[in-house]
Structure 1
């Protein structure tokens, strides 16, 4: 029935800042960019190399996301990487705060967390 995750949708507060973060820093590829005048909102479709997608939305006056303490609902978005160390160093070169690297006690794989411009928790998870 379900085959894969097609996309994750993110609402941002500063469209240009988030567009830069997801495309220029994280390297996602733009599929389509549309301004929806009736909603005064942008919708940016972004692709990862495996075909999965992120939809980036801007909505005027969207409420902040409750994160700490963690609220019910989607906890974070995780990206698969070859090297958590290399990605962490890369993100730090852009002055992005990255948590210390941890090891998943069940899989033995390395992972860490950082945040997008709106504080959305993002994870990089090392795939062997």
Structure 2
């Protein structure tokens, strides 16, 4: 087996339109396509970043809540690479997104900060 790259990340949103607006209007993803799946009462949107397919955004009626805390078993967070973390953090805060203080990774000496999507999914900005 040879894995070349991550193909996509699937996210289930409690409010599809709210999360679609967050990922597209705030984070800068583009909507490549979307479909309503009537049998599941579910939307599925395909989101791209810089022209590359990256996220499947789903909605389902009454999804269970994510386990609380970043140390819960499962996905810990998604990290996005940025060139200028100060500018990226400022952009998010201007859009009403609360960010933690910028920290420095002691292993890589790189700067990073965390914020959350509309459903509380932990997201990270990491200055490459």
Q: Same fold (TM over 0.5)?
A: yes
Unaligned runs of 5+ in 1: none
Distance 1:33-1:50 versus aligned 2 partners, 3 A rule? closer
Q: CA deviation at 1:69?
A: 5.8
Q: What SS does the aligned partner of 2:52 have?
A: coil
- Which runs of no fewer than 5 residues in structure 2 stay unpaired? none
Look up the match of 1:44: 45
Matched with 1:13 is 14
Alignment RMSD:
1.1
Classify 1:69/1:6 alpha carbon distance in 2 versus 1 (closer, same or farther; 3 Å): closer
TM-score when normalising by structure 1: 0.95
Q: What is the CA deviation profile of residues 23-51 of structure 1, one whole-angstrom value per residue up to 9, with x for unaligned ones?
A: 01111011110100010000000011162
Match for residue 123 of structure 2?
A: 122
Counterpart Cα distance in 1 of 2:49 and 2:107: 26
Q: Which residue is 2:33 aligned to?
A: 32
Q: TM-score with structure 2 length normalisation?
A: 0.95
Q: Is contact 1:12-1:57 (8 Å) kept?
A: yes
Q: Is the 2:113–2:126 contact (alpha carbons within 8 Å) kept by the matching residues of 1?
A: yes
